[in-house]
Structure 1
Amino acid sequence: MSTEADPAPDVRVRRRAGTAPLLAVGVLLAVVVAVGLVALTGGISYAVAGLTDPGAVTTYGITVVRVAADVSAAVCIGSLLLAAFLVPPQKSGTLDVDGYAGLRTAGFAAWAWFVFALASVFFTAADGAGRPVTEVLRPEVFVNFVGAIEQPKAWLITAFIALLLALGCRLVLSWGWTATLFFVSVGALIPVAVTGHSASGGSHDMATNSLLYHLVGAAVWVGGLIALLAHARRRGSHLTLAATRFSKVALVSWIVMALSGVVNALVRVTPGQLLSTDYGLLVLAKVVALVVLGVFGHQQRQRSVRGLQDGAGGGQLVRLAAVEVLIMLVTIGLATALSRTPPPAEIAAQPSTTELLLGWNLQGEPTVWRLIADWRFDLIYGTAAIVLAALYLAGVRRLRRRGDAWPVGRTIAWLAGCLLLLIATSSGIGRYAPAMFSIHMVNHMLLSMGAPVLFVLGGPVTLALRALPTAGRNAPPGPREWLLAFVHSPVARVLTNPIVALALFVGSFYGLYYSGLFDAALDHHWAHLAMNAHFLLAGYVFYWPVIGIDPAPRKLPPLGKLGLVFASMPFHAFFGVTLMNMQTVIGESFYRSLDLPWVDNLLLDQRTGGGIAWASGELPVLLVMIALLLQWARADDREAKRRDRREEATGEQDLAAYNAMLKQLADQGRPRD
């Protein structure tokens, strides 16, 4: 990470009474609420889990460090959000005074996040093993417990990422790196979410996916409001802009939290258990708090923004935000207590082996009808498909409302890509893909070679650049400028490098299946999410410079595009052939543990998957060739039209000048008398 040449902005001249005292009071309230509710409800039932009680220090200590870790994470994420997107940088790309102040706050919060995440490693190991935390502090015991339990390893990864964030906040000053740190900080929430309480038992796919949405929405909402409050107390500039932008972000975050919270609760508790169990009562309390926060916060932020636009000071915003922050932190305490209370459904349920490993049961052999009609909506990728389609149609609608045209073919291609993404992850294909290698390979081909081709033909970046408003010469940069910055960023240039794109696209076939990664990933839901993301992104960055409508950071000549496509074909074909001829089963232990009655020959199923991989490579190549031919033909037509317009504008001037040049050359070569 390199720093800018500009000196670090001096924030001391505008510093006012900070938010630290308010934050300390809020954290104390959250801890009191969490510990009190855990004591009242009994917390985790160790007897149900077959563990001994680790003692009060571990039982309540883990609650305290989790509250502190959650608040630290929210402050870090919210401060980076402020520095990267709520206040504008300088024209040179270096952070302004307000952005630098947010970056420094994020750095301090990241150090706290690191400390409490590291403490959570020990407390979670002790809690999972049913031993006092003092016993886990011994190195030999710690290594054994951390190696056997997933949650401590997740907290260790989070602590490492928090340490990187803390160091990064000290080293960078540019807007681009600050935005990168923000996305890294959001990603740091994932390890704990995908290995926590929701990642086990039946329907753990729904529970984990909804929890991911819930945690990200909560961190952005709570952390963003704390950062906005700190910005107002510092009397920072661009306060109206920051409050307006955050109001929109907060509304989206609240909607995401509300919907994901409902899904997560329904997985663990029935409506009849809301009033009859401790878990249900905590769910109701959290729902009430979120409703109050959503309605109260939105109304007050709108009133504060209107006041700022009318020239009023930020005093009202500070007072109202302070109250909202306190309620939010109490809600974090409620959520922590909820995570420490066993759901009634989990205590009583006895999931089958298939449901325990996959998250759902399979109804029978994957017939054509079941692959088409046996749907299980994927909260991550199914939602992404719907949102991407809606955003694209909104962009097309905006263009047409102002009288601009947008090719229908691009719209059809994009919507077809969204539909293919939805089918690959939420239909029977997505339901059976984790259980059978052959169906997994269908899923892989659709996500890596089908949907990306259609997505790049849709030209989403071009549409966004035309639909989003331009910030203006003296106005702060907005979404359009952020998108342009990403397209021209070093990351985009590296990813679209032909060698890198080819290695990611083709190399992932061999690296995933022949290195043991696939075997290790099969029984982890988060690994399936990561694989799907990799398939989509690797396919997109490969096809983007080849047939993409959008301008790529690296523009390839026509022969280069064709060569890149043909270079991938032998590697893809060889992968399919080697799969069909393998004598060992990839992921054998996982597939045998499922013991599906209709898969009596795992090697035959794997060879079927190899045949699917080999045969499916032909269709995308055909689509790419057709797209390239059409693009070349249209490029020739555009060049011919440009020549015609130039000739019409200049008349016979070019021809006359050319004839005059020939005459002059002839006269010079003619012998003189």
Structure 2
Amino acid sequence: MSMVLRGAAVAALAVAAVLALIWAFIYGGSAELGVLDRVGPTVLWLLLAAKLVFNLAAACTAGPLVLALFVVAPDEPAHRQALRFAGYSALVWALAAGVFAVANFQVIANMPLVSDGFVPALFAFLIDEDPGRSGLMATGIAATTALLCFVVRRQSAVALTAALAFSGLIPLVLNSHAAGGADHADSTMSLYLHSAAAVVWLGGLAGLLWLRPSLEPGRLGTVVRRYSTLALLSFIVLAVSGVLAAWVAIGSLTQIGTPYGVIVLFKSAAFTILGIFGALHRLWVIRRLDSVPPRAARYFWSLVVVELAVMGTASGLAASLARTETPTSLGLAASQDPPPAPTLGNVLSQWELDPLWSVVCAVGVFTYLAGVRRTRKAGRRWPASRTVLWLTGMVLLFLVTNGGTHVYQGYLFNAHVVTQMLLTAVVPLFLVMAAPLTLAELTIRPRTDGSTGCLEMTRSILRPVLKMTAATPYLPVLLLAGTLVVFYYSPLLGYAALSQLGYGIVTLLALSSGCLYMAALTAVPAPGQQLQLTVRLGAVVGTALLFGVYGQAISAQATVLEQPWYTAVGRPWGQHPFIAPELAGTIMWVIAGGALATAALIIVLRRTVLRRTVGDRAAESLEENPHPEPGISPKASILR
């Protein structure tokens, strides 16, 4: 039965993918040869087929590695089968990447395989040209991943192998159809997120099918439920990143009728069908895997075969899109002009969606609200104020990373400082006070089979770090000082001004360091630790001095620090009053002052509440023991 099921699934995936690829490639006009073409249609179709196999094999490599990390236990046979399946898939991936690199060279250089000087020209292409280096890098990463899959056993090594597999998606993404968008950096990030989410969804489902015979009786429901959570998160990432990538490539709704737009519509229809299948899994099939396992399992595997067929269709369309001209690359979209002068109204009205942080905000809102719903469904109370704080923090994060500050941070040093300070000092206040880790510990089911989930990662990694920083508040202060040095006195400053990736790195560092700092300051101490709260107030004062010194320094050196922005875009609005880089120090002082004052107020309130709690407990102790030991007060006995 298992062999028949695997054969049906492979056939459904392959046939649907090939048919969709052929239709989209012909319909999109990419199959038409140029007048001076010398390589012929065979190489063009080989290039496209290699790209399709590349995508499917990469998914069947990274997806099972994710299953080995988060779904199955390290000591069960399914874990070894997942690594073996990933290894075989990585070998196919490496072969497809090599074929793609050679065929891509033939198409770009317009050189048939039997041409004179083909081999030296190919080597020069692989070493000197970006498309060649990308193909060579992808081949090397896939081959290394294949080797590791057959030798690693420890979960830490599996995690590194999975990270390597996901990095293998980057080289060809950089040379894919993202380049056709108006903003190459933004569209490349959208495409990478889209590809990574698709890899987890498709590869995880294919890996689940491969693992079926090795799963112990009664494990199917647990394994499918865990995979379903990963698939749901992938669905959200695919939806957000797909919309952003399509918008960058198409440019406007008037171009939806172009061949590229029509193919995107068909791909969106396949995605919608997959979403319906996912809902059927979560609402109907998974619930019955525990109650009526044999019957529910038949329904589940039948849906899997059909689902893989739809995924194959989407994969074929995606591979064809990589060779289809986008409306924006054909000049059908408006050119990118500088935004209007940075007045308050213009800053509030400008938008430029960032793929990564749009996805982060969408996933953050969804998972938190899902946790609140599960908490209330279990009969527990969760303060509405915390939910409001989290949603407010997510809205602020979205505005900072997608609104006017994001638009102008690529033009003005001042806007860069505003972005960095809001992410370091303001957004973390809301996110930390919403207690997301506490909510996770209340709602996520602990695992007892030795596998690793979000709860286990929270308890083994995040909680110890937060406990250490709360006990020694000067550590996050030092971390904050270090990040400021990196932000303003390292090459990252210029990289953030000129690169979307650099901007993403700065954003991540600012937000993570700010959250760690605020979590250390506002954590609820145990009874008897009032002195720790006093130390935290001292840390706030030290941080205020730190920002004061840095604010003065960047104001004094503003002209030098502004050079990456001035070199890149100049001053398109003339001598506008909000452009002066010397205002950066004042901006830092104002934002830091407000955030630190709020943090100090929270610490004082924590201290007041703790004193009242200790006093109440002391009174209760005195009532129970009216004759305490001589020389020891009831309050002191409690604090010991």
TM-score interval, smaller chain: 0.7 to 0.9
SS of structure 2 residue aligned to 1:344: coil
Cα 1:549/1:99, change in 2 over 3 Å:
farther
Equivalents in 2 of 1:575, 1:142: separation in Å?
A: 46
Equivalents in 2 of 1:498, 1:117: separation in Å?
A: 49
- Give yes or no for contact 1:456–1:550 (8 Å, CA) kept in 2: no
- Report whether the alignment pairs 1:287 with 2:263: no
How far has the Cα of 1:655 moved from its partner?
Answer: 4.9
- Report whether the alignment pairs 1:430 with 2:406: yes
Equivalents in 1 of 2:229, 2:215: separation in Å?
A: 21
- Report whether the alignment pairs 1:418 with 2:394: yes
How far has the Cα of 1:341 moved from its partner?
Answer: 0.6
Equivalents in 2 of 1:628, 1:494: separation in Å?
A: 15
Hey, what does 1:626 align to over in structure 2? 601
Residue-by-residue CA offset, 1:361-406 (whole Å, 9 max, x unaligned): 4441111112223344445434534553454455456556666555
Residue-by-residue CA offset, 1:456-514 (whole Å, 9 max, x unaligned): 22221112223x05448789876544532443578997999878745543223322433
- Report whether the alignment pairs 1:265 with 2:265: no
Aligned CA RMSD, in angstroms, stands at 4.6
How far has the Cα of 1:102 moved from its partner?
Answer: 1.6
Q: Please identify, of 240-249 and 480-489, the stretch whose mean Cα deviation from structure 2 is larger.
A: 480-489
Hey, what does 1:250 align to over in structure 2? 231
Could you list the runs of 5+ residues in structure 1 that have no partner in the other structure?
A: 1-14, 356-360, 660-673
How far has the Cα of 1:239 moved from its partner?
Answer: 0.9
Equivalents in 2 of 1:512, 1:52: separation in Å?
A: 49
Cα 1:128/1:100, change in 2 over 3 Å:
same
Which amino acid counterpart does residue 259 of structure 2 have in structure 1?
A: D
Equivalents in 1 of 2:33, 2:561: separation in Å?
A: 37
Hey, what does 2:304 align to over in structure 1? 321
Cα 1:274/1:456, change in 2 over 3 Å:
closer
- Give yes or no for contact 2:551–2:585 (8 Å, CA) kept in 1: yes
Hey, what does 2:459 align to over in structure 1? 484
How far has the Cα of 1:43 moved from its partner?
Answer: 1.9
Cα 1:425/1:180, change in 2 over 3 Å:
same
Cα 1:478/1:597, change in 2 over 3 Å:
closer
SS of structure 2 residue aligned to 1:312: helix
Cα 1:126/1:503, change in 2 over 3 Å:
farther
Hey, what does 2:583 align to over in structure 1? 608
- Report whether the alignment pairs 1:548 with 2:529: no
Equivalents in 2 of 1:159, 1:307: separation in Å?
A: 40
Equivalents in 1 of 2:133, 2:541: separation in Å?
A: 43
Which amino acid counterpart does residue 143 of structure 1 have in structure 2?
A: I
How far has the Cα of 1:310 moved from its partner?
Answer: 0.6
Q: Please identify, of 282-291 and 220-229, the stretch whose mean Cα deviation from structure 2 is larger.
A: 282-291
Could you list the runs of 5+ residues in structure 2 that have no partner in the other structure?
A: 634-640
**Identity over the aligned pairs, expressed in percent?**
25
Pick aligned residue for 1:460 from 414, 436, 439: 436
Residue-by-residue CA offset, 1:288-347 (whole Å, 9 max, x unaligned): 433444445654786654356313174554454234324422431221011211023431
Q: How many residues align?
A: 622
- Report whether the alignment pairs 1:234 with 2:214: yes
Which amino acid counterpart does residue 129 of structure 2 have in structure 1?
A: F
Cα 1:423/1:32, change in 2 over 3 Å:
closer
Equivalents in 2 of 1:288, 1:84: separation in Å?
A: 31
Hey, what does 1:670 align to over in structure 2? none
- Give yes or no for contact 1:522–1:590 (8 Å, CA) kept in 2: yes
Cα 1:540/1:373, change in 2 over 3 Å:
same
Pick aligned residue for 1:617 from 558, 571, 592: 592
- Give yes or no for contact 1:417–1:452 (8 Å, CA) kept in 2: yes
How far has the Cα of 1:519 moved from its partner?
Answer: 2.1
- Report whether the alignment pairs 1:331 with 2:314: yes
- Give yes or no for contact 2:180–2:326 (8 Å, CA) kept in 1: no
Hey, what does 2:626 align to over in structure 1? 652
Pick aligned residue for 1:104 from 84, 93, 102: 84
Which amino acid counterpart does residue 612 of structure 2 have in structure 1?
A: D
SS of structure 1 residue aligned to 2:129: helix
Residue-by-residue CA offset, 1:162-195 (whole Å, 9 max, x unaligned): 5665565456545566467556655654565466
Cα 1:218/1:53, change in 2 over 3 Å:
farther
How far has the Cα of 1:224 moved from its partner?
Answer: 1.5
Equivalents in 1 of 2:625, 2:472: separation in Å?
A: 43
Which amino acid counterpart does residue 145 of structure 1 have in structure 2?
A: E
Q: Please identify, of 32-41 and 627-636, the stretch whose mean Cα deviation from structure 2 is larger.
A: 32-41
Hey, what does 1:447 align to over in structure 2? 423
How far has the Cα of 1:136 moved from its partner?
Answer: 7.4
- Give yes or no for contact 1:588–1:602 (8 Å, CA) kept in 2: no
Cα 1:623/1:583, change in 2 over 3 Å:
closer
Cα 1:580/1:266, change in 2 over 3 Å:
closer
SS of structure 2 residue aligned to 1:612: helix
- Give yes or no for contact 1:462–1:549 (8 Å, CA) kept in 2: no
Which amino acid counterpart does residue 416 of structure 2 have in structure 1?
A: H
- Report whether the alignment pairs 1:197 with 2:177: yes
Cα 1:123/1:542, change in 2 over 3 Å:
farther
Pick aligned residue for 1:74 from 59, 64, 89: 59
Hey, what does 2:127 align to over in structure 1? 143
